[in-house]
């Protein structure tokens, strides 16, 4: 069931920083660190599944999202990237209901062609006409059963082949999405603060999302995004950092022939964190009162 906290935070004008997670333990880690909203990105889910994002199915997305939500006992809102919605309005409505059943609180859906092109990872984005995009949003809104399930309307037209860098097309699509009932908008392809300020002024008085580090400006503080009026900040590079750390570790092994070592304090700190994330204290207490009692 969708959590009401995200809607309330946005209505109160709060900013939401949603870090990328991809399983139960990364979700728990973010909760442990104090984050209030979680995000399962399309590209990150693809890496975890072992397939390119454009080839994912709604089942793939639902499985990952459900594990994330269950991992934090369904206590935190989860935002999910559903790309193009997996088909025509009938398929989009099925996707919305599937994810709502999986415990998701919000989705963002975009205007790229479906089936989605793998070439978009090379920066070759193609988008559908604005009327088809508005229809996607309209039927996504109609499908939800709870007012707490939020529809974030993403549009990629600004940096698409068809859009050609025309800001006004992105504004028109944002307005069309809002007319169709979207709760927030998400314009990608911004090149820097000038674009960010333009789109915030052009589409005022509605929550806007931004993805940090890809399809958006980099090197900015969270406070800078907030000061420009962006209420939903998505960050996806935790998965990339994890892969990078694993790669660097075993690259060193291959090059030197030595396995990495770590201090006793480091090992103990890791085991302590893992025990916390896996609720071992509670499990140990049960064992102490039952299977280990009297031994």
CB 37 within 8 A of CB 68: no
**Whole-angstrom distance between the N-terminal and C-terminal Cα of the chain?**
44
What is the pTM assigned to this prediction?
0.95
The H or E element spanning position 8 is: helix 5-11
For Cα atoms 159, 45, 71, give the angle at the middle one, nearest 5 degrees: 135
For the chain, which residues make up each domain, given as ranges?
5-243, 262-295
129/109 Cα distance (integer angstroms): 15
Predicted local distance difference test score (pLDDT) of residue 295: 67
- DSSP for 59-89 reads HHHHHHHHHHHHHTTT-S-EEEE-TT-SSSH
Kindly state which CATH superfamily the domain 5-243 is placed in.
Phosphoenolpyruvate-binding domains (3.20.20.60)
Output the tens digit of pLDDT for each of the chain's 295 residues.
899 999 999 999 999 999 999 999 999 999 999 999 999 999 888 888 899 898 999 999 999 999 999 999 999 999 999 999 999 999 999 999 999 999 999 999 999 999 988 888 788 899 999 999 999 999 999 999 999 999 999 999 999 999 989 999 999 999 999 999 999 999 999 988 999 999 999 999 999 999 986 555 667 889 999 999 999 999 988 888 899 999 999 999 999 999 988 899 999 999 999 999 999 999 999 999 999 887 6
For Cα atoms 202, 205, 209, give the angle at the middle one, nearest 5 degrees: 75
Tokens 């908008």 found at: 185
Q: Which residues pair with 150 in a beta bridge?
A: 106
167/114 Cα distance (integer angstroms): 23
CB 154 within 8 A of CB 203: no
Predicted local distance difference test score (pLDDT) of residue 140: 98
Predicted local distance difference test score (pLDDT) of residue 4: 98
Predicted local distance difference test score (pLDDT) of residue 135: 98
Identify the three-state secondary structure at position 216: coil
Would you call the peptide bond into 169 cis, given omega within 30 degrees of 0 as the criterion? no
42/73 Cα distance (integer angstroms): 22
Query: CA–CA distance from 152 to each of 105, 141, 201, 232, 272 (Å)?
Result: 11, 10, 18, 10, 38
């Amino acid at each position: 069931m969708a959590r009401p906290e995200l809607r309330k935070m946005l209505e109160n004008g709060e900013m939401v920083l949603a870090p990328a997670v991809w399983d139960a333990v990364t979700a728990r880690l973010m909760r442990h660190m104090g984050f209030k909203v979680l995000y399962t990105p399309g590209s990150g889910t693809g890496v975890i599944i072992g397939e390119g994002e454009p080839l994912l199915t709604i089942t793939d997305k639902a499985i990952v999202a459900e594990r994330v939500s269950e991992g934090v006992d369904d206590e935190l809102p989860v935002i999910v990237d559903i790309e193009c919605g997996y088909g025509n309005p009938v398929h989009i409505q099925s996707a919305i209901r599937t994810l709502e059943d999986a415990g998701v609180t919000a989705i963002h859906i975009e205007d790229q062609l479906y089936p989605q092109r793998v070439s978009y990872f090379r920066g070759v984005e193609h988008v559908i006409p604005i009327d088809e995009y508005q229809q996607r949003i309209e039927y996504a809104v109609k499908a939800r059963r709870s007012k707490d399930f939020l529809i974030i309307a993403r549009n990629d037209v600004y940096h698409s082949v068809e859009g050609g860098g025309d800001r006004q097309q992105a504004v028109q699509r944002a307005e069309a999405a809002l007319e169709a009932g979207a709760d927030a908008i998400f314009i990608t392809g911004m090149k820097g603060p000038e674009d960010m300020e333009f789109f915030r002024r052009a589409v005022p008085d509605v929550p806007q999302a931004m993805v940090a580090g890809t399809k958006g400006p980099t090197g900015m503080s969270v406070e800078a995004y907030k000061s420009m009026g962006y209420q939903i900040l998505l960050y996806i590079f935790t998965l990339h950092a994890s892969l990078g750390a694993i790669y660097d570790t075993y690259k060193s092994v291959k090059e030197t022939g030595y396995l990495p070592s770590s201090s006793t304090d480091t090992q103990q700190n890791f085991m302590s964190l893992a025990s916390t994330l896996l609720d071992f204290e509670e499990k140990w207490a049960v064992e102490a009162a039952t299977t280990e009692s009297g031994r």
